[in-house]
Amino acid sequence: MNAAMVGLLLLVPLTTVASDPDTVPPVMPNSVAVAVERALPAVVKLYGATIGTAYGYGTGVLVSADGLVLTIDSVLLDASNLRAVLHDGRRFRAEVVRRDPVRELALLRIAGQRLPHLTLSPSQSLLPGDGVLIAGNAFKVAEGEETVSVFHGVLAARTRLELRRRAQPLDYAGEVLVIDAIASNPGMAGGPLLDTRGRLVGVIGPIVEAGATNTRLNFALPAEEIEPFLLGTASTRPAEPPEVASGGRGGKPYLGIRLFRLGYQKVAAYVDRVAPGSPAATAGVRRDDLVVAIDDRRVGSIDEYERMVSRLRPGQTIRLTVKRGDDVVEMKLVVGEQPQ
């Protein structure tokens, strides 16, 4: 009797499995696909100015229904015909509303209404190992209504970018989200960092490359750093790293360039004089050159030039981009030490 009962119990699951050969198990929804579908209509392809090796294309994300676009500050935004192309192929002229030189963020406006957009969500709930998504127009492969590239990765770490300032001078020393996904390809900067529910938790940062190893850091600015900028309450004063605040190792940086001064600082950085035998003279800088970028970072005025130069280090090799007549000239320059 007991043996018969055991045999019956063993047969029950076998009978259940084979009961209906036409039954198909239900398909579970793909949460990543749902998140991408929700977020992509708010991703914007940007096209603008090209200077030197700086790329004239990038990515932004709509953050309001009336056309505010969040992106990364770069030389492409200096174009007189800055263009934004939406997910459905619609094209708009874009204008810069404001910039944050520390976080290298920019806010644009296009003349649209009732546009798909994303709102910032806190990134603090993300833990190392959590899945994330990034989207952007990598290598400008998407045109018109073509879909931008999407990468699925994980949050690798939260850290402060200050530790990597030797790779490339940066004013921002706050927290960043390091991600295990290729965010450093040309065109990706300014694109959204999403959690697996499609919520906007950050923005892909600019390309940061180590000169010694030619490696790039894949990172994003977290929503907590972006929100003050969108609200207009962010501090735009650079944080001084210890080596700069104390005068720097090896003395103050020196290029040997004197700029035209018209009594105020908000003017373009035109070269008035190049000191003979200086690093600038060795690199080939000439009088009347217009300095437009240092290491592909836009120089929009004399005060921006002086601020960026003050953060360089003697012995550091930089890429200086100047406009000479109708030509754009790029040169490498080794920073010297300020003569006594």
Q: Which of 235, 293, 302, 239 is nearest to 268 (CA)?
A: 302
Residue range of the domain that includes 49: 33-231
The answer to whether residue 265 sits within a structural domain is yes
Q: Are residues 203 and 94 in the same domain?
A: yes
The pLDDT tens digits of the residues spanning 4-39 come to 444 444 444 444 444 455 666 665 566 789 999 999
For residue 225, what are the CA distances in angstroms to 174, 236, 255, 307, 325? 8, 12, 33, 22, 39
**Mean pLDDT value across residues 322-328:** 89
Average pLDDT of span 108-123 = 96
Kindly state whether residues 268 and 160 are assigned to the same domain: no
Same domain, 220 and 274: no
Cα distances (Å, whole numbers) of residue 90 to 44, 178, 256, 271: 10, 33, 47, 41
Note whether 270 and 216 are same-domain residues: no
pLDDT > 70? residue 85? yes
Q: Give pLDDT, residue 296.
A: 79
Tell me, yes or no, whether 218 and 121 share the same domain: yes
Using an 8 Å Cβ cutoff, are 220 and 197 in contact?
A: no
Structure confidence at residue 290 (pLDDT): 93
Mean of per-residue pLDDT scores for the chain: 84
Judgement on whether residues 225 and 263 belong to the same structural domain of the protein = no
The burial class, CB within 10 Å (0-12 / 13-18 / 19+), for 327 is exposed
What pLDDT sits at residue 245? 37
Tens-place pLDDT, residues 303-315: 889 988 998 989 9
pLDDT digits (tens, 9 = 90+) for 255-302: 999 998 765 445 789 999 999 999 999 999 999 999 998 987 888 888
Q: CATH number of the domain that 77 lies in?
A: 2.40.10.120
CATH number, domain of 252, equals 2.30.42.10
223 shares its domain with 259: no
The answer on 161 and 259 residing in a single domain is no
pLDDT score at 107: 97
Residue 20 covered by a domain: no
**119 in a domain, yes or no?**
yes
Does residue 7 lie within any of the structural domains? no
Residue 266 sits in the same domain as residue 137: no
**What pLDDT score was predicted for residue 304?**
86
Same domain? For 216 and 303 the reply is: no
Q: Is-contact 312 244, C-beta < 8 A? A: no
> Taking every pair of C-alpha atoms in the chain, what is the biggest distance, in angstroms?
108
Query: The tokens of 61 are what?
Result: 């994300």
**Residue 230: what residue type?**
L
- Which candidate, 64, 137, 71, places its Cα nearest to that of 105? 71
| Final residue of a structural domain among 231, 261, 288 | 231
- Boundary of a domain, candidates 175, 196, 231: 231
Question: Is position 24 within any domain?
Answer: no
Question: Full-prediction pTM beyond 0.85?
Answer: no
Looking at 197, 231, 265, which one is the last position of a domain? 231
Please indicate, yes or no, whether residues 134 and 281 belong to a single structural domain of this protein.
Answer: no
CA–CA separation, 235 vs 237, rounded Å? 6
Say if 45 falls within a structural domain. yes
Task: Note whether 293 and 227 are same-domain residues.
Answer: no
Q: How many CB atoms within 10 Å of residue 150?
A: 20
Residue 8 belongs to a domain: no
Q: Is 253 domain-assigned?
A: yes
How many domains does the structure of the chain reveal? Answer: 2
